[in-house]
Structure 1
Amino acid sequence: MTAADGQPAAPMRGATRVLQDVLDKLRLQSSATATEKQTARLGDVVENLDERAFGFLLLLLALPCCLPFVYLLPQIVALPMLALAGQLAAGGRHPWLPKKLHERSFSLDAFQSVLTRAEKYVGWVERIATPRLKPVTGRVGVRLVGGLALIPIASILTPLPSTNTVPGIGVAIMALGLIERDGVLVILGLLLGFMWVFLLLFLGAEAVDLIRGWIAART
């Protein structure tokens, strides 16, 4: 691929590298003193992302959900993820967050730790990402993707240990697909998320049957 001046075009940077650059920029802009924790708002992240902000935001918010034994944070970030997926489904061109979510702050150190830990897991996905199955990431396809993504994202809200990991990975892969215009990754991410939701519902139904059987045996 060549640029307009005939020189080789610079390769597209990985999504996690872009997010790292955004966090570094926010860290420099932070007014926190040496004894205070550096924080930023979700709105600050939106303002520092390019036209692929939906994908970048979904990836940033999905990363804490990918890691096992991370509690409470996945349930917190699932709410803005639902808002973003809903906007995609509605045909939104740029992310918009309600004022409460726009002003919601987070620790830069905490997200730096999450990004560092998660990069080794999503790095291999970035290396195989390439534009393909373009209708999936086209205008109509993205709206369908946003609607379907609501289901695995909603499952992250399930208040059970480690139930966020599999759907979080699925949403992260889907987000990388949106960023890199890779329809295959988008589909794989959605399939992973839906498989988890199906398993969760199946196990839930089995648990209900066991409880009913135990109650019947006691009466």
Structure 2
Amino acid sequence: MTDDTQQASPQAGPRNLTTLIAQVQQAGRRREDVSLEAILDAVGRRSFAPFLLIAGLVTLAPLLGDIPGVPSLMASLVVLVAAQLLLGRRHIWLPRGLLRRRVSRERFVRVTDWMVRPARWVDRLLRARLVWLARPPAHLPVALTCLLIGLAMPPMELVPFTANGAGLALTLFGLALLAEDGLMAMLAYLLTGGTLTMVVIGLA
């Protein structure tokens, strides 16, 4: 658990996607199922980037993102974390009901093992560039945009493919903060605009 001596950071924690997944794989290793709390404890709760990446990757991942209600669950995570970052809270708080949500060990292992190879490929693309889009205070517009994505995710379950767009945008924002890669942030902003436009058109 975190204390109140330091403010939550947008970038503290693992510096690439492969390391993040390796940390996630350590979550709840001795249990038959894996809780969200165990996953977040494995990566640390002071960094905004891993929260975004976990929410984005879960939304995108086969066997997880297609489960009814999962996009809404990840939306709750994103909204709570983004709002707290905007408010400058010293540590990230999540309700116990959310932290206790679980997935079977078998499904968890299959999904995380599937992510390892793409993660290595993604890490080769990341580098520090256009850092003004990824370093503080740029994390504040990122958090605001992610807050909008989170609020829009529940209705996205009614518009085909838009939840995947939201998951990819969250993943790109997480990668941007993780590697200080402003190009990823720029792509995420563009993808967010396109995805939210599709939601509005699809619900109209």
Q: TM-score range by the shorter chain?
A: 0.7 to 0.9
Label 1:17 to 1:169 Cα distance change in 2 as closer, same or farther (>3 A). same
From 124, 127, 142, give the equivalent of 1:130. 127
Q: Which residue of 2 aligns with 1:24?
A: 26
Q: Which residue of 2 aligns with 1:146?
A: 143
Q: CA deviation at 1:198?
A: 0.9
Report whether the alignment pairs 1:63 with 2:57: yes
CA contact (8 A) 1:65 1:168 kept: yes
Label 1:118 to 1:70 Cα distance change in 2 as closer, same or farther (>3 A). farther
Deviates more, 1:179-188 or 1:134-143: 134-143
Give unpaired runs (5+ residues) of structure 1.
Answer: 1-11, 206-219
From 32, 38, 52, give the equivalent of 2:33. 38
Deviates more, 1:124-133 or 1:67-76: 67-76
**Which is bigger in relative contact order (C-alpha 8 A, separation at least 6)?**
2
TM-score of the superposition, structure 1-length normalised?
0.71
Label 1:169 to 1:180 Cα distance change in 2 as closer, same or farther (>3 A). same
Q: Distance in 1 between matches of 2:45 and 2:74?
A: 21
Give unpaired runs (5+ residues) of structure 2.
Answer: 1-13
Q: CA deviation at 1:148?
A: 1.1
Give the greater-gyration-radius structure (CA). 1
Report whether the alignment pairs 1:109 with 2:103: no
Label 1:123 to 1:74 Cα distance change in 2 as closer, same or farther (>3 A). farther
Q: Which residue of 2 aligns with 1:215?
A: none
Listed one character per residue, the Cα deviations across residues 45-83 of structure 1 (whole Å, up to 9, x for unaligned) are 333325763211221121121246713222222211221
Deviates more, 1:170-179 or 1:105-114: 105-114
Q: CA deviation at 1:134?
A: 2.5
1:1-219 equivalent positions in 2, closer than 5 A: 14-27=16-29, 30=30, 32=31, 37-40=32-35, 42-50=36-44, 53-67=47-61, 70-72=66-68, 73-92=70-89, 94-158=91-155, 159-160=157-158, 161-205=160-204
Q: Distance in 2 between matches of 1:116 and 1:173?
A: 20
Q: CA deviation at 1:109?
A: 3.1
Q: How many residues align?
A: 186
Label 1:187 to 1:43 Cα distance change in 2 as closer, same or farther (>3 A). same
Q: SS in structure 1 opposite 2:162?
A: coil
